[in-house]
Amino acid sequence: MPLKILGLNHTTAPVDIREQVIYAGDAIPRALAEIVTLSGVGEAVMLSTCNRTEIYVEADAEGAAALMEWLKADQNLSAEAQAALFEIGDEAAVRHLFRVACGLDSMIL
């Protein structure tokens, strides 16, 4: 299954919107346990900081759609927060992952 990323970050949402979608502490293991039970989702990793909440999944198209619906429901996302979400997949997702891991997608370099 291909890599998909769903999330928002400092380039897609202002801080007040990012604060609506933060996962911290025990919320992360709970969320990941729920995500991997979604149809079409294999594995999952979550990165949630003050500047981004991104969910990286091994998922097919059905899994990616299920993840979007799960996130909307789990966080009770406002229309504004939903509009700030991004979805990327395949090569673009791998490129984004490496940019985040290297700090190239940070607010401050």
pLDDT at 100: 86
Tell me if 77 sits within 8 A of 83, measured CB to CB. no
Which residue is it, tokens 């989702």? 41
Structure token pair of residue 14: 């202002």
Segment 77-90 mean pLDDT: 95
Structural domains of the chain ordered from first start: 3-101 (3.30.460.30)
Contacts for 60 with CB less than 8 Å, ≥ 6 apart: 1, 2, 40
pLDDT at 109: 62
Segment 13-23 mean pLDDT: 94
Residues 14, 19, 22, 50: which is the catalytic one?
A: 50
Decide if 50 is catalytic.
yes
pLDDT at 101: 85
pLDDT at 17: 94
pTM of the model: 0.92
